Every structure is written in structure tokens, then in C-alpha cells.
Amino acid sequence: MEPEVRLLDENKRRLDGRAVDELRPIKIEAGVLNRADGSAYLEWGGNKVLAAVYGPREAHPRHRQDPARALVQCRYNMAAFSVSDRKRPGPDRRSVEISKVVSEALGHVVFKEQFPRTSVDVFIEVLQAEAGTRCAGLTAAAVAMADAGIPMRDLVVSCAAGKADGTLLLDLGKEEDNLGEADLPVAIVPRTGEIVLLQMDGHLTPEELETSLKSAIDACHKIYEIQKDALRRRYAVTTEHGGAPPPPKEPETEADTPPTTEEPKPEEVEAPEPVVPETQEGE
């Protein structure tokens, strides 16, 4: 794993010119599909991800229904052509695991008790992949859920930090991910700072872990602004996609908050302007 390729130049600039604590460019658009109850398209560096949400709808098969609350069920899928070597269609073990942890993370913010016996079905399709697809997919899925008007405490937002070439990096790119020493995908609920997804593989000292985790969390807050902006644009426009967008199921009360603030928590600190420390991240 000692990379022969140098991933950082003498000025600590990365292969794609980024600083160690710099995110790849991120672009989100909400409400891009017609059939789904809610949807979002996200580009994050070379990642292109689509998320769609159906529900709350009757969960099936029936025996999976929970009589006390809604299920939040995510299916993460990579298109066959999304990677260099064609991926066989259908879920592999990696996809199954990602679907599970993403479902758990999204489940935290949904007011599940309001919709017993139903399912909120979230579909993430990776159309083009370039390191960090689970973070990209989860971030897109939260926007799609808001677009679908699913009552939620807040959005969920995800970003990875990591280590490559001996240096802590934010939001690992492809080579950094392949040749790097550690990857730490994180997802948080921005208003509370709660960590709802956390995975790690590689090699980090406890101190490095703490620094990386903080760096990823800070980046999440930045990405949160992009999410909210996408939702604001979605409900500002009316006919861009041929026809007025459906009103969200929950009325929007404030212009600058997403339509998901069913239960505002005024006592919580508003997401501060994130300060990305001298660290680095990646998937």
C-alpha cells in the first residue's frame, strides 16, 4: 500500500489540484424525476448519482410491516456502466451493506411513528462512480426525501475523510481511495451534530481518527448548505421541468429552511460556518 504514485506534490496539492481540506465540486438538483414522489440528482466530483423516494406507502411483503412505525428502506445500486470494469447487474455484497447502513442513517430523521405499517422506499442509483458514492448517494437521498415531503427532523448529510500518502485528506478522490491508507465515511444530522453513519477501514491512530472525524463533520455542514440551496431552488421555480412541482406534503414555513422542519428544534445551535481544519478526507 506504499503508493508509488505520489498523491501530493511538495505544496501539499493533490492530483486534481485540491488542497488537503478541500471538497470536490458538488452540485445538487431536486425534483428531477416525474414518477417518484421525490427525487434528486447530484454530481460530486466524478460521481453522478440519482435518488428517488416513494412513500410512505404500504410496506410489502406484509410480514415485514411494522405495526408501530414506518420502515425506511434504501436500495443502493450501481449501474452496470458506472465503473471502469462493467459491474454485473444486481446487488452484490457491498451494495447490500451500503443499503443497510444508509437505511439506518436515514431512518433516524424520519418521523416513523406517524406512518405505521408503511415503508419509505429510497432508491439510490449510481450512474457514474468515482470514490465516495455512498456519501454522495446518502446526501442525494436526503434531498429526495425532503422533495417527497417526508416528515423529517432534519436532512442527513454525508462526507468522508481519510488518509493517503501519509496525510489526512478530506473527500478522497479515486486514486487516493485506491492507494490510500484509510477511509472514514460519516453522516450527520446537521442541526444536532448527531452522527448517524460511521464506517472506517484502514489504519488511523486515535488522534488521527478524531481529527478526520471532525474534518468530515465540518465538511458535512458545508454540504448541508448545498442541499438546502437545491431545495430552495426547487420550490422557487415553477415550470422548469414541464409542469408545476407538487407542493410538499408538509407546508414550508421559512424561506431559508428545507421543507422538512416538521418539528423545529429552536434550542439547537444552528449549523455554524464550518471551519475545515488542517486535515483531509476520502472514501
Which residue ranges make up the site for another protein (CB under 8 A)? Answer: 33-36, 46, 48, 50, 52, 54, 57, 63-64, 66, 75, 77, 79-86, 89-91, 93-94, 96-97, 99-101, 104, 107-108, 121, 123, 125, 127-130, 184, 189, 192-206, 209-210, 213-214, 217, 242
The alpha carbon dihedral of 210, 212, 215, 216 has a sign of negative
The CB density around residue 81, as the number of other CB atoms within 10 Å, is: 11
Look-up of cell digits 470536490:
24
C-alpha cell at 154: 432534519
- Nearer to another protein (CB atom), residue 9 or residue 80: 80
Whole-number Cα distances in Å, 107 to 103, 138, 169 = 6, 12, 29
Closest CA to 217 of 137, 126, 130, 279: 279
To another protein, the closest distance from the beta carbon of 247 in angstroms equals 19
The CB density around residue 57, as the number of other CB atoms within 10 Å, is: 13
SS3 call for 85: coil
Beta bridge partners of 122: 53, 74
Edge-first strand listing for the sheet containing 38-44 = 26-30, 38-44, 47-58, 118-128, 71-78
How far is Cα 40 from Cα 154, in angstroms, rounded to an integer?
Answer: 16
- Nearer to another protein (CB atom), residue 19 or residue 193: 193
- Nearer to another protein (CB atom), residue 199 or residue 257: 199
To another protein, the closest distance from the beta carbon of 255 in angstroms equals 28
To another protein, the closest distance from the beta carbon of 142 in angstroms equals 14
To another protein, the closest distance from the beta carbon of 6 in angstroms equals 20
Whole-number Cα distances in Å, 281 to 25, 43, 180 = 14, 18, 10
- Nearer to another protein (CB atom), residue 23 or residue 156: 156
Q: Exposed (0-12), middle (13-18) or buried (19+): which is 104, by Cβ within 10 Å? A: middle
To another protein, the closest distance from the beta carbon of 11 in angstroms equals 28
